[in-house]
Chain A
Amino acid sequence: MPALAIERWAKNADCAPDDPVVLTVEGAHGPIVHAVTKAAAERGARAGARLTDARALDPALVALPADPEGDAALVQRLARWAGRWSPLVEVEGDGLRLDVTGVAHLFGGERGLVCDVQRRFAALGLTTRLAIAPTAAAAWALAHHAPCICDDDVAAKLTPLHIAALRLDADTVRTLDRLGLKTIGALIGVPRLALARRFRGAEDVVEALDRALGRKPEALTAIADDPPPRATLRLEEPATHHEAAGQALERLIPELVRQLQERHLGARRLSLRGFRVDGSVAVASVATTIPSREPKHLQRLLADKAAALDPEFGFDAFALTANWTESLGAAQESLVEEPSGERQVARLVDRLTVKLGPRRVRRPQPEESHLPERASGWMAAVQSSSSLLGEGDRSTKSSGGGVWRRPLHHASHGSPPRAELREDLKRPQRLLDRPEAIDVIYATPEGMPRRFVWRRAVHDIARAEGPERIAPEWWRQPSSARLRDYYRVEDSSGRRYWIYREGVIGDGRGGLPAWFIHGLFG
């Protein structure tokens, strides 16, 4: 993949194709061009050149930092995906090497295989240069210098290539160049003994040549496969009774827990699959708040869901998989078997979530917003970070958009001075899910409200404080959204409410302002 970095960038950045953009990495003497777009290449920018040199050729060049880690991660993901063509895939810099021995006929011969690979990578927006050769080193050389399919005669194909195709280091290549040995063909012609004597040690030219020509074996290192912990149980006879899944669970959990223990993992999400005789699969999944590998707890979480699996024509196999795991060291909490408070709370959350569903068991997730309904965000308790008792770190966790979130309101510590109303008293303890329209009578349109009717009951306003103006969030709301003037009001019997007027007269965003009730104070 010769242009992976720039193509990945172009795909994410969504830019015009003819922008002269270069991606740079920091070098010893300032930024170095790492990858260039086509337009930039036409203007003289070359990968490996210094940015200042490239800028000297064309000052209009746009330089952006490259993301080598991201590229490497993408290559890793592609390597996994490339498992569709070959069981043995190796990541090699920004390229992939596949062992296609005995595979090609599945894709209609080697030509068909190359076409298929090219087509599928092109669908991802990636340019590929492909070569098939009997040896891995030869394939690398051909892919980088002359993409083709090479059947048997490796030497013939390699002969015209420059010696850099042998993947020697730069110094050796320069030395060979100076000696006049510019192509591999020339190198093959030199007596082996002389070559071996001249280039010793690390930069072994002879060995590189041997690898390319297939005289010495070169092993591919397949990417590490890391399957999730999984326990399976096959039944001799299909089980048609409803307790089958529960009984299977009792045997699967110890096995899974053993695997988790060996790998020092704790399960965050488990799924039990029951394979029915007719080929259909029944799935029950649960999630936990903190990683766990305690058999009793996992059993308790899954038991209800397992019992609800319908065997229909009978299960003939079960598999229990920990789809999502986190590392969990061995820890002894106390001498007696009494879990700590934090762990207890996490287990409580798990139990509640399993029965009521993740959308009903939630924790506050403060959002950086002044709109009350947005400021009090909620997130599923089971998804919140593992530290249930720590307060700060939960909210500072970065989320999808990469925006750092900070809690807007801080818990008041100690006793504040009397004159100022405590921070938490400025916001109601209860918020209506959607503000309800109320009828308000007020002395002057811009003045304090005097009386309001909510749910057919009249409330005389004895005291009011406000307005507290909250402007609409123009960056995410339509331009017709109106500002809100919040009042804290107290009616004649002492009940305290949070009401607001939406809009002001003459703001050009609708007619007369409407009044709403939004919250109740305790």
Chain B
Amino acid sequence: MAGGLSLVAGGGSRAAEIRPIPSGLGECWRLPGPSGPTLSELFAAHPRDGGWAGFLLAQVAADKPLLWVQERMAILESGRVHPPGLPDKNLIHVEARDARDALWAMEEGLRCSGLSAVIGEIWGDPRALDFTATRRLAVASERSGVAAFLIRLGGHANLSGARMRWRIASAPSLANDLDGRAPGLPAWDAELFRARGMPPGRWIVAHEAGAFHLVAGAGDRTLGEERRLRA
């Protein structure tokens, strides 16, 4: 692999200077979480950042249908779910008029144990989404054993009954072994800022071969840059 890449980078005598590019993946990382399925709240670092979707889909089991509720505003602002991009297409998509409908649909979904997970996207800080509403979702999720994910786009972290609260941003992707100028395996900057019974933390992770891995330092990133300029 290293030999092939050095040719791209210019070849000849300079090949010796270039180290083989590390794949960028570090040690395995275990997703912190409670023992059973519960309600997690994911804040998108920016409404136009779709990174949370990758982070979320990596942890959802795909054996049963998935209920994906999107509020109208969320669809307008950050797009509709695109099934060809999902690893599993067994999906029920609900387009809710407003946050109240979306929360209702989520709660209906959480009563149904035939689902693998319920994902709900809420735009901003609607009045319907208060402590009671989130608490209801958390209780329903724990009772039926269906994981619930409340996605907050452009919202603020006010009072919530969610057991885990994440803030997810896209991180620069890993080096692409085949093409130095192309984005590689996606990575995410995941910050767990509130969780019941566990310490908060912040990690830069990627998902590969069915497991999360920590991403090694940013050193390989600059190497990639260099290579791009030189090529």
Interface residues of A (CB under 8 A from B): 340-345, 347-349, 351-352, 355-356, 359-364, 366, 372, 375-376, 378, 381, 388-389, 391, 407-409, 411-412, 415, 418-422, 424-425, 427-433, 448, 454-455, 457, 462-465, 488-490, 493-496, 519-522
Q: How far is the CA of A448 from the CA of B56 in the complex (A)?
A: 30
Pick the contact of A427 from B55, B85, B185 — CB < 8 Å? B85
A463 near B173: Cβ-Cβ < 8 Å: yes
Among listed B12-20, B33-41, B43-51, B129-137, interface-contacting one:
B43-51
Q: Do A348 and B50 touch (CB < 8 A)?
A: no
The reply to whether B89 and A407 form a contact with Cβ atoms under 8 Å apart is yes
The smallest beta-carbon distance between B78 and chain A, in angstroms, is: 6
Return the CB mask of B162-201 against A: 1 if under 8 Å, else 0: 0000000111110011110111111101000000000000
Top 3 A-B pairs, shortest CB-CB distance: A522-B54, A520-B50, A341-B114
| Interchain CB contact under 8 A, A489 and B183 | yes
Please, how many residues of chain B have a CB less than 8 angstroms from a CB on the other chain? 71
User: Could you list some 11 contacts between A and B, CB below 8 A?
Assistant: A345-B64, A360-B95, A428-B85, A429-B82, A430-B53, A432-B80, A433-B75, A463-B224, A494-B169, A495-B49, A496-B170
A521 touches B186 (CB 8 A): yes
Docked Cα-Cα span, A394 to B70, in Å, equals: 23
Closest to A416 in B: B209
- In chain B, residues 42-77, which have Cβ atoms closer than 8 Å to a Cβ of chain A? 46, 48-57, 62, 64-65, 67, 75-76
Complex CA distance for A431 and B84, rounded to whole angstroms: 10
| B94 in contact with A356 (CB, 8 Å) | yes
B171 and A494 contact, CB distance less than 8 A: yes
Query: Residues of B at under 8 Å CB distance from A?
Result: 23, 46, 48-57, 62, 64-65, 67, 75-76, 78-97, 101, 104-105, 108-109, 111-115, 169-173, 176-179, 181-187, 189, 208-210, 224-225, 228
Task: Check if B178 sits within 8 Å of A381, measured CB to CB.
Answer: no
Q: Assess the B187–A494 pair: CB atoms within 8 A.
A: yes
Q: Which residues of A contact B67 (CB under 8 A)?
A: 348
Among B80, B83, B85, B92, the most chain A Cβ lie within 10 Å of the Cβ of B85
Q: Is the CB of A430 within 8 A of B50?
A: yes
Docked-complex contact A344 and B101, CB < 8 angstroms = no
In the bound complex, residues from chain A placing their C-beta under 8 Å from that of B176 are 421, 463, 465
Q: Which residue of B lies closest to A411 (CB)?
A: B88
Query: Nearest CB to that of A462 among chain B residues?
Result: B172
Nearest CB in chain B to that of A359: its residue: B95
CB distance from A63 to the nearest CB of B (A): 44
Contact A496 B50 (CB under 8 A): yes
Cβ-neighbour of A351 out of B81, B91, B108 (below 8 A):
B108
Question: Are B86 and A424 in touch, CB under 8 angstroms?
Answer: yes
A429 in contact with B54 given A351-B108, A520-B79 (CB within 8 Å): yes
Contact indicator B92/A488 (Cβ below 8 Å): no
List 15 additional contacts besides A360-B97, A412-B87, A495-B50; criterion CB under 8 Å: A342-B114, A361-B95, A372-B82, A418-B177, A419-B178, A421-B184, A425-B185, A425-B186, A430-B80, A430-B85, A431-B85, A496-B173, A521-B54, A521-B186, A522-B55
Most-contacted residue by chain B among A340, A463, A519 (CB, 10 A): A463
Neighbouring A residues of B184 by C-beta, 8 Å: 421
Q: How far is the CB of A10 from chain B (nearest CB, A)?
A: 43
Please judge, given known A-B contacts A348-B112, A429-B85, A465-B181, whether A356 and B101 are in contact too, CB under 8 Å: yes
B residues in contact with A366, CB < 8 Å: 83-84, 89
Partner of A428, one of B49, B50, B113, B187: B50
The answer to whether B89 touches A344 (Cβ under 8 A) is no
A490 touches B112 (CB 8 A): no
Given the interface pairs A348-B108, A348-B114, the reply to whether A424 lies near B210 with Cβ below 8 Å is no
Q: Are B172 and A364 in contact (CB under 8 A)?
A: no
Minimum CB–CB distance from B214 to chain A (whole Å) comes to 16
Chain A proximity of B124: nearest CB distance (Å): 16
In the complex, the answer to whether A362 meets B93 with C-beta atoms within 8 Å is yes
Interface of A (DSSP majority class): mixed
Q: B85, A424: Cβ atoms under 8 Å?
A: yes
User: Is the beta-carbon distance between A427 and B113 smaller than 8 angstroms?
Assistant: no
Check A430 against B79 for contact (C-beta < 8 Å). yes
Q: Which of B79, B178, B224 has the most CB of A within 10 A?
A: B79
The answer to whether A493 and B94 have CB atoms under 8 Å apart is: no
Taken together as a complex, chains A and B put the C-alpha atoms of A519 and B53 apart, in Å, by: 12
- Cα distance, A341 to B108, chains bound together (Å): 14
Q: How close is B174's CB to chain A, nearest CB, in angstroms?
A: 10
The answer to whether A391 and B89 touch (CB under 8 A), given A348-B67, A356-B105, A522-B57, is yes
Chain A residue contacts of B108, Cβ below 8 A? 348, 351-352
A420 to B56 alpha-carbon distance, docked (Å) = 22
- Bound together, the chains give a CA A355 to CA B49 distance in angstroms of 31
Task: Tell me, rounded to whole Å, the shortest Cβ–Cβ distance linking A369 to chain B.
Answer: 11
| A364 and B50 contacting across the interface, CB-CB below 8 Å | no
In the bound assembly, the distance between CA atoms of A381 and B67 in angstroms comes to 11
B79 and A361 form a contact (CB under 8 A):
no
Contacts A362-B93, A389-B90, A490-B173 given; does A431 touch B82 at CB 8 Å: yes
How many whole Å from B157's CB to the nearest CB in chain A?
20
Whether B48 and A411, one on each chain, are in contact in the complex, defined by CB atoms closer than 8 angstroms, is: no
Cα of A366 to Cα of B86 in the assembled complex, Å: 12
B171 and A519 contacting across the interface, CB-CB below 8 Å: no
- A348 contact set on B, CB distance < 8 A: 67, 92, 108-109, 111-112, 114-115
Q: Are B48 and A520 in contact (CB under 8 A)?
A: yes
Chain A residues whose CB sits within 8 angstroms of the CB of B112 once the complex forms: 344-345, 347-348
List chain A residues, Cβ under 8 A from B97: 356, 360
With A465-B182, A521-B54 already in contact, the answer to whether A345 and B93 are too (CB < 8 A) is no
Contact A495 B94, beta carbon cutoff 8 Å: no
Interchain CB contact under 8 A, A463 and B113: no
Assembled-state Cα–Cα distance A494/B101 (Å): 33
